Amino acid sequence: MSQPKSRDVYMVIGGNGFLGRHIVQQLLDRGDIVSVFDIVERYTDVPFYAGDISEQESVASALRKSGTTCIIHTASPHATLNNPALFHKVNVEGTKAIIAAAVETGVRKLVFTSSAGVVFNGQDVIDADERVPFPEVPMDAYNETKAKAEVAVLEANGKGGLLTVALRPAGIFGPGDRQAMTGLYQVYERGQTHFQIGDNTNLFDWTYVGNVARAHLLAADKLDTPPPAPPLSALEKMPTSLDD
Ligand code: NAD
């Protein structure tokens, strides 16, 4: 894998999760310095900072201690939880706290893991790219708060020299997954396999976790040579229905 021009010091927020751990592993594999900020402790091979992203001071303190220059923010409650208040606290307030802590401590780059679900409203989404607007009525609280977080991250681009990018994976599969396969197995265990949704031609995007992790590293590297800012007209098309 190619190296960024200047060596960053990375912090993977949510780095003890499924995707976050693969990102940590790939950073270690290419010889980068990386630490993890998470509410859960699982590994001992990188410096670990315990904390909740909705507490700006915890995040800022960890960023200072670790000397972080690039944050990769993958933290979120599981999409399957039925807890809108938690989604708002972590995804919206937590992401805003990360942005504020990053600006406060002079972090250069922020890569955010959004979700393909931010543009899903139950209808088919075919050949979509980043120009597709958010739906007027979000699919659910998880996707609504991921969209709000994404808007906050993109609006923070340039603030105090911070460069930001958001990625929208669809389904992620691979080693370390605690969500997708568990759900499928539960369906099997409950004997629910005789249901079929649609006419057996439905398609859904799944991406191998190693490839999603690699996309985060490439996005972080690419922030060193940011593309020209989008025209104002494109920014004006950002959703208004997601305002707080
Ligand atoms: P995961 O639950 O395995 O990892 C998330 C990590 O975030 C966990 O380690 C958790 O402890 C941590 N976390 C949660 N709340 C926190 C908080 N308040 N403060 C600090 N840490 C906190 O989930 P994942 O599947 O690895 O997903 C990673 C990211 O990718 C999420 O942002 C998710 O929205 C996004 N995503 C996942 C999928 C998928 O199929 N798994 C698809 C699209 C997008």
pLDDT tens digits, 143-186? 999 999 999 999 999 999 999 999 999 999 999 999 888 888 89
ipTM associated with this complex = 0.99
pTM of structure: 0.91
pLDDT, the chain, mean: 91
Average of pLDDT values for 14-40?
A: 98
Q: Please tell me the predicted confidence (pLDDT) of residue 224.
A: 87
Average of pLDDT values for 55-78?
A: 98
CB 138 within 8 A of CB 176: no
| Alpha-carbon distances of 219 from 112, 126, 168, 184, 205, rounded to whole Å | 10, 23, 12, 31, 20
Residues tagged active-site: 146
CB 99 within 8 A of CB 130: no
Report whether residue 15 contacts ligand 1, using a CB cutoff of 6 Å. Answer: no
Q: Please tell me the predicted confidence (pLDDT) of residue 238.
A: 56
Test site for ligand 1: of 12, 56, 59, 76, most ligand atoms within 8 A of the Cβ:
76
DSSP character for 91?
Answer: I
| Alpha-carbon distances of 100 from 18, 107, 159, 219, 222, rounded to whole Å | 26, 10, 10, 21, 22
Task: Give the distance (Å) from ligand 1 centre to CA of residue 40.
Answer: 11
Task: Give the distance (Å) from ligand 1 centre to CA of residue 161.
Answer: 27
- At 242, list the tokens: 């997601």
- At 27, list the tokens: 């950073």
Q: Please tell me the predicted confidence (pLDDT) of residue 1.
A: 55
- Nearest residue to 50 via CA among 84, 28, 75: 75
Report whether residue 75 contacts ligand 1, using a CB cutoff of 6 Å. Answer: yes
Helical segments of 68-173, H only: 84-87, 95-105, 141-155
Q: Please tell me the predicted confidence (pLDDT) of residue 242.
A: 55
Q: Please tell me the predicted confidence (pLDDT) of residue 162.
A: 97
Residues 30-49: tens digit of each pLDDT = 999 999 999 999 999 999 99
Task: Give the distance (Å) from ligand 1 centre to CA of residue 238.
Answer: 25
Q: Please tell me the predicted confidence (pLDDT) of residue 38.
A: 98
Instruction: Calculate what percentage of the chain has a pLDDT beyond 70.
Output: 91
Q: Please tell me the predicted confidence (pLDDT) of residue 222.
A: 94
For the ranges 4-18, 69-83, 218-232, the lowest mean pLDDT is seen at 218-232
HSE-CB for 237 with a 13 A CA cutoff: 10
Using a 10 angstrom Cβ sphere, with 0-12 exposed, 13-18 middle and 19 or more buried, the burial of residue 45 is exposed
Residues 130-154: tens digit of each pLDDT = 999 999 999 999 999 999 999 999 9
Task: Give the distance (Å) from ligand 1 centre to CA of residue 74.
Answer: 5
CB 215 within 8 A of CB 24: no
Report whether residue 160 contacts ligand 1, using a CB cutoff of 6 Å. Answer: no
Report strand pairing: 70-73 vs 48-50: unpaired
On the question of pLDDT at 237 being above 90, the answer is no
Report whether residue 38 contacts ligand 1, using a CB cutoff of 6 Å. Answer: yes
- Nearest residue to 223 via CA among 70, 34, 14, 15: 70
Say how far residue 8 (Cα) sits from the centre of its chain. 19
DSSP character for 92?
Answer: I
For the ranges 2-11, 69-78, 131-140, the lowest mean pLDDT is seen at 2-11
